[in-house]
Amino acid sequence: MSGHPDPRTPLARFGGRLATGLRDVTSDPAALDSAGHWAVAYDFEGRLTCARFDEVRPAPAPPSGAGWRGPEAGSWHSSLDRAAYTAGVRRIREHIAAGEVYQANLCRVLSAPLPEPDRSDVDALTGLLAHGNPAPYAGTIRLPGHGVEIATASPELYLRRTGRTVSSGPIKGTGRTEDDLLDKDHAENVMIVDLVRNDLGRVCETGSVTVPDLCAVEKHPGLVHLVSTVEGTLREGAGWPELLAATFPPGSVTGAPKSSALRIIEALETAPRGPYCGAVGWVDADRGEAELAVGIRTFWIDRTDPDAPVLRFGTGAGITWGSDPEREWAETELKAARLVAIASGSEPGGESGSGSDPTRA
């Protein structure tokens, strides 16, 4: 296949590899323990799409911007406006005060109409993101016939698997620079590390779960994150169904305890997260290897109304007792501004968060 692929042709692109020749699609996670190369998209609400491809070859990122016409910069709308989001932060602090939860991730979904649907190739958007906002788990899953069109610039590892060894890299704590990080950010990270240790402990051999890195500072375009690493050895008899059941949705984008956080999230958020905060990546069943990212810094096309397709993007923040509502709103703005500008065709090197803000409702 030469040149830029047809924007309706199924493909997956991760880690410098391009997968083409769609063989089959299933929602059964046990298929990931069978054979072949799979692309995986797992919506936050639980819709799992596993697509097996026949051909995988090394390939650079797609040409930057070829085949992409994004939304107008001023056309974005948020599922929660500033007043609703800050009120949600205050409500979560009330839940914390009542002892129901220690931390909960509050998110909002940004949406904008696509002015030229025929120039809405998510793989081309991946090329733009690779140029303007490079990320370690960037990639594309393009399955228009199955309602999956995702372009991600995720910096966060949900699950890596090498044989029986599994690891996760939760991110908690975000600032423009390292000096912006607060004690609250470190506390938030440690809480989620405990949650991820518990999740992996449900499917790993007793005593095998460790934390090789705690609260390491990682620099990304326009911001910094605190990142930890948790790993363990998958117990005998546990495969992908058990691993996903034990760990999904990812702890860093839910909260602790997870069950309480999920209940609070459902009450406060007004739009489904979809691929945002879910999982996106690849599984090589033949080699026993996999890399699934948390679906943050992720765009997806919603063609529910075929006459009016919409581009969506999620942003959020972890809320603790030490959270300031306005600061948390600003964190969601910081996370979104650069990427939304790139998708809208604005100058990717511009100053994030200045001038008119496309992410406000």
- pLDDT tens digits, residue range 120-152? 999 999 999 998 889 999 999 999 999 999 999
In a domain, 355, yes or no: no
- Residue 6, in any domain of the structure: no
Is 352 within a domain?
Answer: no
Contact predicate 338/352, CB 8 Å:
yes
Domain count, the chain: 1
Question: Which CATH number does the domain housing residue 170 bear?
Answer: 3.60.120.10
1 part of a folded domain? no
**Residues 244-280 pLDDT 10s:** 999 999 999 999 999 999 999 999 999 999 999 999 9
For residue 118, the model assigns a pLDDT of: 85
Higher model confidence: residue 94 or residue 134? 94
**Cα angle for residues 276, 266, 263 (degrees, 5° grid):** 115
Residues in the chain: 361
**With 90 as the cut, is the pLDDT of residue 222 above it?**
no
d(CA 84, CA 65): 34
Report percent pLDDT > 90 for the chain.
Answer: 83
357 within some domain = no
Residues 6+ apart with CB under 8 A from 265: 104, 105, 106, 107, 254, 255
What DSSP designation does 324 have?
-
Q: Is pTM, for the whole model, over 0.85?
A: yes
172 is catalytic: yes
User: Residue 302 has which token pair?
Assistant: 């919603």
**Helix (H) or strand (E) segment spanning residue 293:** strand 289-294
Q: What's the domain range around 148?
A: 11-68+76-343
Mean pLDDT, rounded, for 97-118: 96
Per-residue model confidence (pLDDT) at position 318: 93
Q: How many helices (H) and strands (E) does the chain have?
A: 6, 18
Spatial separation of the C-alpha atoms in residues 9 and 20, rounded to whole Å: 8
Interior angle at CA 199, CA 235 and CA 192, nearest 5 = 145
Active-site residue (options: 172, 184, 258, 335): 172
In a domain, 176, yes or no: yes
pLDDT of residue 1: 36
- Calpha distance 96→92 (Å, rounded): 6
- What gap in Å lies between CA 111 and CA 225, rounded to an integer? 25
Q: Does residue 64 lie within any of the structural domains?
A: yes
pLDDT at residue 359 tops 50: no
Q: Which range is least confidently modeled, 92-101, 106-115, 186-195?
A: 186-195
Q: Which of 45, 100, 116, 156 is catalytic?
A: 156
Residue 351 domain flag: no
The encoded tokens of residue 297 equal 């810094």
Residue 258 among the catalytic residues: no
For residues 271 and 255, give the distance between their C-alpha atoms in angstroms, rounded to a whole number: 18
